Structure 1
Amino acid sequence: MIKIFNCYFHKRTFFHILLDLGLVSFTVVVAILYQVAGVGNQPVVSILWTTAVLFALAILLINSSLGLYDRVHSRTVSQTSARGAIVLLLALPLSYGIFHLSPVKLQNGKVFMLVLLGGLIIMLMHRIYATHIGPRALIRQRVLIYGSGKGARLVGQTLKKSDPNVDLVGYYASPNEVVTEVSGWAVLPRDKSLTDVVQQARVDEIVVALTERRGGSMPMRELLDCKLQGVRVVDTATYFEMTLGQIRLDSVSAGWLIFGEGFDQGVMRTITKRLFDIVCASVLTVVASPILLVAAVLIRLESAGPILYRQERVGLNGRLFSVVKLRSMRTDAEKDGKPVWASATDSRVTRVGRWLRKVRIDELPQLFNVLRGDMSLVGPRPERPFFVDKLTQEIPYFAVRQSVKPGVTGWAQVRYHYGASVEDAVEKLQYDLYYVKNHSLFLDLVVLFETVGVVLMGKGAQ
């Protein structure tokens, strides 16, 4: 894994993103270069590369939104090819915009379009090849799990699900553990030292997954020797953080949270995030105004009652505020006065409301909460006081999520489906803790890009 601005990327994913960025940028440059007079002029060169990079970034955003960089998926080659066709269709208006709006005037628009589309087709063919057919040995990681107990089994199961291209060398039991079969992989014999096993098996990473670390369970000297030889050594909490983008409650401790890196709440970060929220929320409000107007008319035509729905939520440091949303439920949704979680087949949701929730249009009025400063564009989902009190008592570290402003969208929202139980709240909290620990402007941009994909695919709406 590679950490960039507090956001973890798999090496393979990062490599493919850079490759696509370079290929698309190069194609745009080639498509324009021989049709422009005075290419040696510095302003023209600057405009040329700016145009190329912006177009490439737009294509990467579309690819990411359609899941073409997902490491784990269940799509067929045909389904991935269909998504590639969608990328080409969306690229056409972008290409048209470059041709007609760029200050660099081109002589032959047909040549430009043909070269550009040819480059995009090559990029998408490589994307399909890399996803389904390409060599699996590319940037593979050989991982050894130190331990054979419950925690080690959990790491092994997660490893298989989260990254099928990784090579799990096996489990190496500590002196205090019983040597047994674990998840289909035999525990490696202890007749050789950990250092020798790592060298012979060409291990790249060791995940220390011990439930009990006292009484000589941890071979500190051998682990240090492995690290000095270039082998990465991580504990389970760090492993899950890097691999799943979560801080799992079953592997973390208060000491790990306190003494580890992250949880930076500096003044510059706060100012930068606030300026980013104001600019983006202002632009999105203007762009979304026609959509909000149409949605308001549909809500009024279907049922009597207010168009907007206000509800008390818990914000930064436990401060209460009123969140604003488009009404998607009947006016008597909670006539008994008792708060209830929304469910997948909630009968309280109106027909128009179900459509609004599917494409997340009901969330758009929260942009006004962002402009007021109650919320941020990206952050943990704001919860109602009733559920906050309940979950704070039942789930450890739940109050940590209130150390940042709640968001219209968030890391948990794009990574996990809509929560409707305490168990779902636990799963989402693990993603929220990751965001609170690692939040940065770059991570906010990643979340916003993934939100586009969630909306397009209609995932997680209720």
Structure 2
Amino acid sequence: MKPFMYQDALRKRRISGRSLAFLLRFQVLLLIAIIVFLSMFLPIVFPSMRDSPTTLLYSAASCSIASSIGIYILRGIRNYPGVEESFYAVPAFCVAYGILLVMLILFRIPYSRLLLTSAFAASILVSFVIHTLLRRRILLRIGVVKEGEYARLIETPGVEWRLLDTPDAPLEGLNSVSVDLWSDLSDEWERKLASLALQGIPVYHSKHLRESLTGRVEIERISENNFGTLSPLYAYMTAKHAFDWIAALVALVALLPLLIVVGIVIRLDSSGPVIFRQTRIGYRGRPFKVYKLRTMTVARHVDQSAVRDAAMTKDNDQRITGIGRFLRHSRVDELPQLINVLRGEMSWIGPRPEAEILSRWYESEIPFYHYRHIVRPGITGWAQVHQGHVADVAQVREKLNFDFYYIKNFSLWIDFIVVMRTIRTMLTGFGSR
């Protein structure tokens, strides 16, 4: 579908400003109702709670105010296009609930810790769900300064683009303005853009805007992160690694009965080992053995080309067993990789590790491919929830764009989004082969 045809389709179901205002009030009322419900439900589920009815009342009222503040903080981000809008849900509610906590402690107002924590989590979850439902229903109108690199930007679908030929071009109805800040702008344009920023009209760098709209970083050159370095934040990487280990240990113990049952079914379904082992390339380019539940029939290969071909999973692959198709669809076959997480070779979230033979091939064909190994590979990842499973070089180039975007924005917020989208992927089977 051509961009303008796509825009026409979206325009028919575009949400108006009045509807958005209604949805904002609806979200506030919904969260207040959830908080009131939690204040009555939690004491029933947790009889050990010793919070008095007065404390629960104060807590519910305070949480309602904090959630409302968080929603109105997010309201100012609604004009920000693309995936990055959802990045701000957690910080917005952290600010609102942080202010609430300070006020409660400062004025010594009694409060329920459990209700406060539950209301905070509910606020983030509701905000994320509503954002996901609305993101494709809102058509943004963005003005594009016809200077520098702008042609590729206006090819991006889902936005109504309006080219601005001169600084005096009309701006009525525009949500924001995009410009290539690396281009040699005239004095008139620089004055105009500065004036727009002072008027509160968002002005975005076209490269960053394209990345946010697509969730990808183009690989013509390696792109630094927002801190001006190619390296991810090692402080967050260390904290994430510790959390990964603890969560993997708990999950492996809890899921062990399920893994035993599935292992028995695999052995009954076809001959061969229960666990599939394969050498893949991981953190900092180091090879390691990845563990998965076997989902294919066992075959032997002789020449190198056959080995590489066998490492690729194709659409409607005839090697997939009966139980294997279900395991792939539900992603249950990935659970043994919790062992890799415990061994420090993988993370819960990160670029998916490729088979060694494929990784070496991709490195010879694609510039900067090995840069994806700067973070630990993951059981799930940003590329997987957007693109699914791919194998050929052209698709891997596209996948690498998503991997670079994840590395550039390496943080708690993008990991949270991956978790939420992974749940949707497991329910729908998106991208499985």
Would you say same fold, with TM above 0.5?
yes
Q: CA deviation at 1:413?
A: 0.8
* Displacement of 1:353: 1.1
* Correspondences of 1:256-275 after superposition (within 5 Å): 257=224, 261=228, 265-275=232-242
Q: Deviations over 1:28-61 (max 9, x none)?
A: 3366799999323589941562474277369649
- The residue aligned with 1:243 is 213
Aligned to 1:172: 164
Structure 2 unmatched runs, 5+: 1-16, 60-109
> 2: CA distance between counterparts of 1:216 and 1:392?
41
Aligned residue number for residue 373 of structure 2: 402
Percentage of identical aligned residues: 30
| Structure 1 SS opposite 2:112 | helix
Whether the 8 Å CA contact 1:169–1:201 is kept in 2: the answer is no
Structure 1 residues 418 and 219 mapped into 2: Cα distance closer, same or farther (>3 Å)?
A: same
Residues paired across the two proteins, number: 353
Would the aligned equivalents of 1:313 and 1:322 in 2 still touch at CA under 8 Å?
Answer: yes
Counterpart-to-counterpart distance in 2, 1:359 and 1:304:
22
The match for 1:233 is 203
Distance verdict in 2 for CA 1:19–1:291, change over 3 Å: farther
Note the C-alpha offset of 1:263: 5.0
Please give the alpha-carbon distance, in whole angstroms, between the structure 1 residues aligned to 2:364 and 2:156: 28
For residue 84 of structure 1, what is the aligned residue in structure 2? Answer: none
Aligned residue type for 1:172: L
User: Residues 399-438 of structure 1 correspond to what in structure 2 (within 5 A)?
Assistant: 399-438=370-409
The root-mean-square deviation of aligned C-alpha atoms, in Å, is 3.8
Cα gap change, 1:217 to 1:313, in 2 (>3 Å): farther
Establish whether residue 143 from structure 1 lines up as the match of residue 142 from structure 2. Answer: yes
Q: 1:38 aligns with which of 52, 56, 62?
A: 52
The match for 2:249 is 282
SS class of match (1:442): helix
**Map of 1:197 onto structure 2:** 169
Question: Helix, strand or coil for the counterpart of 1:313?
Answer: strand
Q: How does 1:197-346 map to 2 (within 5 A)?
A: 197=169, 200-201=171-172, 203-208=174-179, 213=183, 219-249=189-219, 253-254=221-222, 257=224, 261=228, 265-332=232-299, 334=301, 336=303, 337-340=306-309, 341-346=312-317
Contact kept in structure 2, 1:29 and 1:48, CA below 8 Å: no
Change (3 A) 1:351 1:382: same
Q: Report the equivalent of 1:367.
A: 338
Does the 8 Å contact 2:280/2:355 carry over to 1?
A: yes
Structure 1 unaligned spans of 5+: 1-10, 74-130, 174-192
* 1:96 equivalent in structure 2: none
Paired with 1:394 and 1:438, the residues of 2 have a C-alpha distance of 25
AA paired with 1:25?
I
TM-score (norm 1): 0.66
Q: CA deviation at 1:220?
A: 3.6
Contact in 2 for aligned 1:278/1:371 (Cα 8 Å):
yes
Distance in structure 1 (CA, Å) of the matches to 2:357 and 2:27: 43
How far has the Cα of 1:278 moved from its partner?
Answer: 1.0
Question: For 2:134 and 2:346, how far apart are their aligned partners in 1?
Answer: 32
- Is the alpha carbon distance of 1:153 and 1:390 closer, same or farther for their aligned partners in structure 2, counting shifts above 3 Å? same
Partner of 2:132: 69
The amino acid across from 1:29 in the alignment is S
Check the 8 A contact 2:351/2:382 in 1, yes or no: yes
Q: Could you say what secondary structure the match of 1:339 adopts?
A: helix
Contact 2:51 2:112 in 1 (8 A): no
Residue matched to 1:155: 153
Given that 1:155 and 1:209 are in contact with CA atoms closer than 8 Å, whether structure 2 keeps it comes out as no
* SS state at 2:163 partner: strand
Q: Classify the secondary structure of the residue corresponding to 2:316.
A: coil
Describe the SS at the equivalent of 2:246: helix
Residue pair 1:237, 1:248 contacting (<8 A) in 2 also: no
**Separation in 2 of the partners of 1:352 and 1:32?**
40
Asked if 1 retains the 8 angstrom alpha-carbon contact of 2:248 and 2:342, the reply is yes
Which residue in the other structure is 1:24 paired with?
Answer: 34
State the alpha-carbon separation in 1 of the partners of residues 423 and 332 from structure 2: 12
Q: CA deviation at 1:449?
A: 2.2
- Structure 1 Cα separation of the partners of residues 282 and 27 of structure 2: 36
Counterpart in 1 of 2:432? 461
TM-score by length of structure 2 reads 0.70
Q: What does residue 414 of structure 2 align with?
A: 443
1:254-285 superposed Cα distances (whole Å, 9 cap, x missing partner): 4x537864755344212211111012111221
Retained in 2: the 8 A contact 1:262–1:437?
Answer: no
Deviation at 1:21?
Answer: 4.2
Matched, 1:53 2:119: yes
SS in 2 for 1:284: helix
Query: What residue number does 2:362 align with?
Result: 391
